[in-house]
Structure 1
């Protein structure tokens, strides 16, 4: 026996049960919607025990109860939609669009808590292909769409092309690779069409480097100073300094630009005149990364700061003394840890009272009503014109 009763009329069930003369213990109830209940007898396959007023779910919940439920759902379900979840989104698309809903996407987002991109992708995929597939996991494990076929033949062809240009001491850039691929019918574009070539270059991969207005005068100053040293009667030895690193588990699939085990792919270095201090490793250090906190990368880039560089640079100066190299010009790049100023140098993070004290000790006139930006402008000019980096002072103290 089955009885359908509205939630707000469930008090009438007692009268109905007495009419059929069925004991309360043989009735079970289940909710079929937010408005109706079904009561069934146990003999008809109903649910037992009977639903009491205390256990009935509330019709509405407050915002205080709603937020934890939404948070629980977000924590439990995955970020990648399964095919079944995408089908549910498609079902809602069909329903809202059939009802003439003007904002179908927004309604689905409000109901399911999914992103706009995912909701739109489901409808776009179905309208284009009349099917819905499972979303691809965001990882780099699968093959990606490309305009160049990823085959062993193509790889060998490009590798031989680059090797041949290396032997001829020719520089290879993305444009050269692109034209080579076009000549072998591996990519299709119109060389006379600038837009088509730009599109192909984006696929091949390229970068544009322009000399900035700031670097141009610095490069000119460096060139003039080096030419003056070379043209002098007693030119000073020049030591080019740069830091490099090798990973403990070095492999061709990580950071190398060529396979170090492939003898054919080793880049041949041209013969150069002049003395070279390459009889051995001048200064070496072994880094155990990640020892200063969880946010630190476990490699050379995360560990090599000014403190490490000062120790490394001191060892380099010792090696230059051992080689008999004195009064040299040491050329190094613009890395941040090369330019660290000595301890106690005024900086922009100082308190106003500390800046005033620094101005007094240096002899810079100021007014007590000056704000921090005005004080720092005066101190910064003094620092830029009079204070040298700590590395420079170390080199000068050793006669370089």
Structure 2
């Protein structure tokens, strides 16, 4: 009941959050602290929002763009909280989530608005142009992704008999109280598959039972993914294109390129192994600057090589654009 009243008050964005909490507390007879979850739970909330929900939230932001309306934090969080299929967010937590999704807040002329980061915008444009070119060339395109399903997954909305208001009446009338929902989420199954416009590729389904309740990606690793990926490649058409996201287990590089965590000796040895010139006595920052200029040539993903050896091409979609795969 508290949640329903709270959601109703959120439909009036002109109110401050403090007013919404106070009115909800007064209407339900509970204290203000009982209206909203504890702060630490909100802090963890954005970490538990999966790619599907993030994609749904991204679309809601872009719906404002399509209507030529400026999407402020207050407007977007209200729309998101009205959606029964999405979690409820507090403003500060939602702000953190949008930043994690690479939205930034900038001033444009006299209006301020949320926009995608420039590098994400450019990545998306390159991806769309590349896909169009590959389709025009007649290349077979496959889409690969992973997801999860709980044993307790069920429909969110069902038909109920609104005249049934007590278990006693159901007994007397010979009726029921309705379908029983699952007692909990149950075990989680992780699923990976690949398909094209012709359907899923036979023999490529990969499933295993999760041992954790958090993000399923924590149980995926490059070693197991690459082993499965190697078995998938021969089942695809010649000259195929494989579209997938930039998950860490998709993005293992063939070799470790020095970074800020590397010591000066490790950086120097790497530069020597690549026959890249540098002067003795250079500072670590200077050496890293040289590495930066050569990183792209030595930062190839392992799956790129695997695909190339099989006569296939890998195409990575921009972050948080799962609707593209």
**TM-score (structure 2 length as normaliser):** 0.48
**TM-score (structure 1 length as normaliser):** 0.40
The structure where strand makes up a greater share of residues is 2
Structure with bigger RCO (C-alpha 8 Å, 6+ apart): 2
